[in-house]
Amino acid sequence: MDWRVTRTDTESAVLMLDCPGLSWDTFPALAGTLLQEWELRLLDKEWGADRHGWLLEFEGSQFRLEYEHHSGCWLTAVQPVDREVLFWLGCQHNKG
């Protein structure tokens, strides 16, 4: 898998992610591989003109996977209590 954590922002609890070939059009297929590799479960999808937003779950914790054409891709915890799990996931899958 080519997904990697490019930056961890502990203050705002955000993992910035990147994958070769990532674009608005390729996001759904590439994000599917991320979900499979990180064992995340898809709960809901939203999309608009230049943004994808997916609600995900991992062992009871909820996260938002976001892709915006001009800002890139990031994963963030929905609730503050899930921040620790978010950072744990980032450490487990950090290839960058």
DSSP codes joined into one string, 22-89: --TTTHHHHHHHHHHHHT-EEEEEEE-SSEEEEEEEETTEEEEEEEETTTEEEEEESSGGGHHHHHHH
Tally the domains of the chain.
1
pTM attached to this predicted model: 0.92
Environment class of 86 (CB within 10 Å of its CB; exposed 0-12, middle 13-18, buried 19+): buried
pLDDT score recorded for residue 95: 53
Beta bridge pairs of residue 15: 8, 75
The tens digit of pLDDT for each residue in 3-60 reads 999 999 999 999 999 999 999 899 999 999 999 999 999 999 998 878 899 999 999 9
Task: Categorize the per-residue pLDDT at 2 as very low, low, confident or very high, splitting at 50, 70 and 90.
Answer: confident
Range of the domain at 10: 4-92
pLDDT score recorded for residue 1: 58
pLDDT score recorded for residue 96: 47
Domain of 15, CATH number, reads 3.30.160
